Structure 1
Amino acid sequence: MALFKNFSKINFTQTKFILGAFYNRNFSTEMKETTIDLQGQTINYLKVGTGKKTILLLPGALGTIWTDFRPQIEKLDKNKLTIVAWDPPGYGKSRPPKRTFDKNLYHTDAKLAAELMNKLNIPKYSLVGWSDGGITSLILAAKNPERIEALVEWGANSYIIKEELEGLKKIRDVSKWSERMRKPMIEVYGEAYFRELWENWVDTIEVIYKENNGNICKEILSDIKCPTFIIHGAQDAVCHSDHPTYLHKEIKGSKLHVFPDGKHNLHLKYADEFNDMVTKFIESV
């Protein structure tokens, strides 16, 4: 998950989406998830569609296939695209084992995502990553230029600023959240594991800030060679506006589009417009 720009401006609805809690029990009966073992880690994934272009959807922090990408999975044209989506290790149904965190968490996820696509025998694909998944996508694209055809990211950051860290620390204790804010995540994880995940994630962001001087992946952005589409919501209270501007500058030839009224979860609120933009971009490469 990209981090908090102005905590005081985040209302319940936005925070719920930020946490990947766009939760709905009525999963489509036509879309069956399955699991695969990768390096001793259970990975839950979904593969649908018959399109020539394959995309990998990467959710945000604590996010899952369905909490973060239901409008994309259900509405993207599956005759044009083949969609692969995953629950990152330790999230959603990608358990056991439990999620472990360290300051290399995004690099670890990028390696495992690449291994997933290897095991699925998909040599060429595009990345569509939101928030934490966007960070993972940046690293994956930089490390595997021969495999990645295109990159779409929104709500991602390649470094952490102090203001963002301080905003996170204010909400580290989930017992201080309202019941409405806690409930969706508890439905996915159970109360104890949700608390454990969230606290460990916030603590790890602090470790990155202190030990890496806030740097996540700034030094490898120039290694991204694929066509890149950076999308940003001008009203995003989570991802500071400096981040898309910085990424656009550092990734040669990248395209930047701003939704004037978009927030962190713009792909959910503006799903049809977002899906159309992404499809056209992926098809163009």
Structure 2
Amino acid sequence: MLRLVKSVRMFNIRNTSLGCRIKQHMSTGPLQTNGAKAPGHKVDVLGYTVHFEVVGTGGQPVILLPGAIGSTRTDFTPQLEKLDRNKFTLVAWDPPGYGFSRPPERTFPPNFYSRDATVAAGLMKHLGHKKYSVIGWSDGGITGLVLAAMHPEQVDKLVVFGAQAYITEHDVELLEATKDISKWSDRMRAPMIALYGEAYFQDLWSNYCVFYCGMLSRQNGDICRKELSRIKCPTLIIHGEKDPLVPREHPDYLFKNIKNSKLSIMPEGKHNLHLRYPDQFNKEVMEFLTN
């Protein structure tokens, strides 16, 4: 875990106008993905294999939604280790087809954000959580937006970062530049190779890039614009000013279109701000969720 740089500051802007059937199964031995052991358990949710972890025993349930091709530990280790376990019950999951939520392998139908949101809600129902908060990074942030819009009676508070409601030609160019995983930093590439193996990691990321870029022509770039007006819960939008994948226009758009929202800008933050500056991020999130 990288140490927090003391000079980093956060600026806050407030927007003041503003029943599924699940069959559980536990594996009889260690779950394996590219030789790695799954840290949690598996359940069947609406026909999908879901791997999840539960950390903490606090009175506030929180589900953590990872980014594209991410998993519980590749994306949220500093949060699972450092968020207050006496205040929160943290539920981290691997979305269907990612991490240890396989088989089957990941698919990218046009409705996969709503599919993931539906399965995530089903997992929380299975675990007995009628009302809970959501933390979502990048693609998981989009899933969180959709989940909060689909189930406003269930989502207590929402935290998103690196998320967007639409894509532009510039966004496509930014993502295309990441398509070759050999150009990723070793620090970002190594956990994915350990989880998937290098060949499958490249295939999975390439398939995601094809889907993402295709939204520009297939959906006129829209992801979840219309859902934003249906979000009723207090929402914290965190953005790294130096994010190389999600330009500033996207958090600004979310802030303007989600009632009762708050925008926090991390001047030195990039796309993985919660991993690079976990102390700052965790403090901001805990204050938001508990106040």
Scaled by the length of structure 1, the TM-score of the pair is 0.85
- Residue in 2 that maps onto 1:209: 216
Could you give the per-residue CA deviations for residues 150-171 of structure 1, whole angstroms, max 9, x where no partner exists? Answer: 0001110010010111232344
Tell whether 2:256 aligns with 1:249: yes
Which 5+ residue runs of structure 1 have no aligned equivalent? Answer: 1-24
Q: Return the match for 1:195 from 183, 202, 208.
A: 202
- Residue in 2 that maps onto 1:17: none
Could you give the per-residue CA deviations for residues 225-266 of structure 1, whole angstroms, max 9, x where no partner exists? Answer: 000001111111111100010000000120111111111111
Q: What does 1:122-137 correspond to in 2, within 5 Å?
A: 122-137=129-144
Aligned length: 256
Q: CA deviation at 1:147?
A: 0.2
- Residue in 1 that maps onto 2:273: 266
Give RMSD over aligned pairs: 2.0
| Cα gap change, 1:183 to 1:50, in 2 (>3 Å) | closer
- Residue in 1 that maps onto 2:4: none
Q: Return the match for 2:103 from 66, 78, 96.
A: 96
Instruction: Tell me if the contact between 1:103 and 1:205 (Cα under 8 Å) persists in the aligned partners.
Output: no
Instruction: Tell me if the contact between 1:239 and 1:264 (Cα under 8 Å) persists in the aligned partners.
Output: yes
Q: What does 1:75-114 correspond to in 2, within 5 Å?
A: 75-114=82-121
Aligned partners of 1:209, 1:218: CA distance in 2, in Å? 14
Instruction: Please state which structure has a larger fraction of its residues in helix.
Output: 1
Aligned partners of 1:255, 1:222: CA distance in 2, in Å? 15
Which 5+ residue runs of structure 2 have no aligned equivalent? Answer: 1-34
Q: What does 1:89-238 correspond to in 2, within 5 Å?
A: 89-174=96-181, 177=183, 180=186, 182-238=189-245
| Cα gap change, 1:195 to 1:231, in 2 (>3 Å) | same
Deviates more, 1:196-205 or 1:139-148: 196-205
Scaled by the length of structure 2, the TM-score of the pair is 0.83
Could you give the per-residue CA deviations for residues 44-91 of structure 1, whole angstroms, max 9, x where no partner exists? Answer: 000111111111000101111001111100011100111000011111
Aligned partners of 1:108, 1:189: CA distance in 2, in Å? 23
Aligned partners of 2:190, 2:77: CA distance in 1, in Å? 19
Instruction: Tell me if the contact between 1:152 and 1:231 (Cα under 8 Å) persists in the aligned partners.
Output: yes
Q: Percent of aligned pairs with the same residue?
A: 51
Could you give the per-residue CA deviations for residues 84-122 of structure 1, whole angstroms, max 9, x where no partner exists? Answer: 000111111110110011222211111111111111111
| Cα gap change, 1:252 to 1:203, in 2 (>3 Å) | same
Deviates more, 1:222-231 or 1:259-268: 259-268
